[in-house]
Amino acid sequence: DIKDVGHKYYLELELEDVLDKDSTVNCTAEVLYHLGNKNIAPDVQFTLEGELKSTEEADHVFYTRIRSLEKELVAENIPDSHGHVPPELEPLHLLAWVASGYLVWQNSTENTQLQLAQIKHVKQVKRSDEYLQFDYVVLLHEMVSQEIIPWEMTVLWHPRDGVQVTWNSRQPGHTSG
């Protein structure tokens, strides 16, 4: 508890590679939730004790595949109602996961717990530059209120630069109708 500033948490985490459960990396982090203004994202500092695996080859395959598509990719409901993700859409799922991590970070307080519940809709937008662009509508699940929150985001990606969320907009509620 830091007087007049906020609450700081010291964390020791074990990161597990989603694509290889046996591969783990330890991590320490400090998270500062600011007092008062709930519109400021918490400060996060972290240190990785070890290295993350290289994904160069898979990145290259995905990048080339998308760039060579004639029609812009469109997909919905990932995973589907039965939890299934078609293998060719798995990279889009992972990308959404990472990008929603940004949304979660920017919108978290000590009283929220946000998770990506589902990709409602994703559309590729072809660009004249080297970046891949995907416009997503994702559904975030907030554990305490149990609400499902639709959120639009524009995600840019390039093997060299990684993920960027260049625009996002929280949508009015998942209807109670």
Partner 1 sequence: DQVLHIVPETFQQVQHLQLLHSILLLDLWKPLMPEDITAGEDLHIRVPAPLVHEVKESLDQHMISYRVLIPDVQELVDQSMPRERSSHKQVQEGYVYTQYHPMEEIYEWMTQIQNNYSELVTQHFLGMTFENRPMYYLQISQPSNKPKKIIWMDCGIHAREWISPAFCQWFVKEILQNYKSDPKIRGFLQNLDLYVLPVLNIDGYMYSWKTDRLWRKNRSPYTNGTCYGVDLNRNFNSSWGSIGVSFDCSSDVFCGSEPESEPETRAVAQFIRRKKSDIACFLTIHSYGQLILTPYGSTTEPPRNNEELMQVGKKAAAALRGKYGTIYKVGPSSLILYNNSGSSRDWAHMIGIPLSYTFELRDNGTYGFLLPADQIQPTCEETM
Q: Is 27 in the site for partner 1 (CB under 8 A)?
A: no
CB 69 within 8 A of CB 75: no
Per DSSP, the three-state class of 122 is strand
End-to-end CA distance of the chain: 42
84, 126, 127, 170: residue in contact with partner 1 (rule CB under 8 A): 84
Count Cβ atoms below 10 Å from residue 146 Cβ, excluding itself: 7
Judged by CB under 8 A, the number of residues near partner 1 is 24
The phi and psi torsions of 78 (rounded to 5 degrees) equal -115, 120
148, 152, 154, 164: residue in contact with partner 1 (rule CB under 8 A): 148
- Rounded to the nearest whole angstrom, what is the least distance from the CB of residue 62 to partner 1 in the complex? 20
Give 25 or 148: the residue with its C-beta nearer to partner 1: 148
Distance of CA 91 to the CA centre of its chain: 12
Handedness of CA 13, 17, 121, 152 (dihedral sign): positive
Stretch that binds partner 1, among 32-40, 45-53, 76-84, 123-131 (CB under 8 A): 76-84
- Rounded to the nearest whole angstrom, what is the least distance from the CB of residue 116 to partner 1 in the complex? 8
Q: Is 90 in the site for partner 1 (CB under 8 A)?
A: no
The vertex-12 CA angle with 10 and 15, nearest 5°, equals 135
20, 82, 87, 129: residue in contact with partner 1 (rule CB under 8 A): 82
Q: Is 115 in the site for partner 1 (CB under 8 A)?
A: yes
How far is 57 from 172, CA to CA, in rounded Å? Answer: 39
- Positions touching partner 1 (CB under 8 A) are 18, 77, 79-84, 115-118, 139, 141, 143-148, 173-174, 176-177
